[in-house]
Amino acid sequence: MIVTLTTDFGEKSGYVGVMKGVIYAMYSDARLVDISHYVKPQKVLEGAFLIQTIMRQFPPGTVHVAVVDPGVGTERHSIVLRVPEIGYFVGPDNGIFSYVIDAYPNLQARQITNQAFMRHPVSATFHGRDVFAPTAALLARGEDFEGVGELLDKTNLKQLENRWGSWSRTSLATLKGSIIHIDYFGNLITNIHQSLLAGKEYTVEQITGVGLRGRYIHLQKEGIETTYANAAPDEYIALFGSSGFLEFAKVNGRAADISASENDLYNATVSVTFR
């Protein structure tokens, strides 16, 4: 069975390799897939976004492990979510599964409390190795979900407030959101989902873009493109990406280069206006 791994550990330090060693030691037939280990450190929302983009793409029964965990060592819960049509999600209860919870009201949640699902001694700093990797290995191997620990009330699971962009309160023609991921191409992916426009009759006239210390992306072309190839080099374009979120791209360039600071981009407010 497949186990996917999404962390903010980077790939310099062997932390991911250690998790894989723990998994293989408990379940030698595991198929391990790295999703990303370059979540911006402690940006739980970016981790949540990545889980959202991949959760429907794997065979049923897949175990998705996510470790972006600034609260490791505190009293935050370690959890497993079970979604019958997907498989399992294993990680901290800190909002990293926000989009999963929104998408699958039929999920069941359990707290990881069974010591048999942990590697001992359990450290205070590395639950990826000591809690989440062994739990994932056992679930992928076929151990019962019931054995993980007690059921949790789904309504108490942590969800991130800022996971969805929304219509502005002051203007019905403006969508407000933020940047939740910057990819290797320098594309800026926002939390504004195309479902906000579903069923509406609208004409996109202008997207003013990313506000950032007074700087804006001005789109040379009006409207939303369906592919990068529709615009000329160095033009900024906006499009709904393969997971349905609005993104800004610079054709043959890096939209992210409008700022020298990745931090500023992650903290920027995005406004998209319609007319």
208 Cα distance to chain centroid: 25
Tokens of 77: 């819960």
Tell me: does residue 24 bind a copy of itself (CB under 8 A).
yes
14 belongs to the binding site for a copy of itself (CB under 8 A): yes
74 binds a copy of itself (CB under 8 A): yes
Nearer Cβ to a copy of itself (20/193)? 20
List C-alpha distances in Å: 128 to 3, 118, 194, 241.
13, 10, 34, 30
Judged by CB, which is closer to a copy of itself: 19, or 110? 19
Please say whether the beta carbons of 38 and 109 come within 8 A. Answer: no
- 190-203 burial, b at 16+ Cβ within 10 Å, e below that, comes to bbbbeeebeeeeee
Report in angstroms how near the CB of residue 73 gets to a copy of itself at its nearest.
3
| Cα atoms found within 13 Å of the Cα of residue 156, Cβ hemisphere only | 9
Q: How far is the CB of 194 from a copy of itself (least distance, A)?
A: 13
Backbone angles phi, psi at 115, to 5 degrees: -60, -25
* 48, 65, 68, 73: which one binds a copy of itself (CB under 8 A): 73
Contact window for a copy of itself (CB under 8 A) among 2-10, 97-105, 167-175, 207-215: 2-10
Assigned token pair, 63: 């175990």
Distance CA 31, CA 21 (A): 12
Is omega for the bond preceding 121 within 30 degrees of 0, making it cis? yes
Interface with a copy of itself in residues 225-254 (CB under 8 A): 226-230, 239, 241-242, 252, 254
By CB under 8 A, tell whether 59 contacts a copy of itself. Answer: yes
Pull the structure tokens for residue 261. 């600071």
263 binds a copy of itself, rule: CB under 8 A: no
Site for a copy of itself in 169-198 (CB under 8 A): 181-186
Name residue, tokens 């998209």.
Answer: 272
Binding site for a copy of itself (CB under 8 A): 2, 4, 6, 8-18, 20-22, 24-25, 28, 31, 33-39, 41-42, 50, 53-54, 57-59, 62, 70-74, 123-126, 129, 181-186, 226-230, 239, 241-242, 252, 254
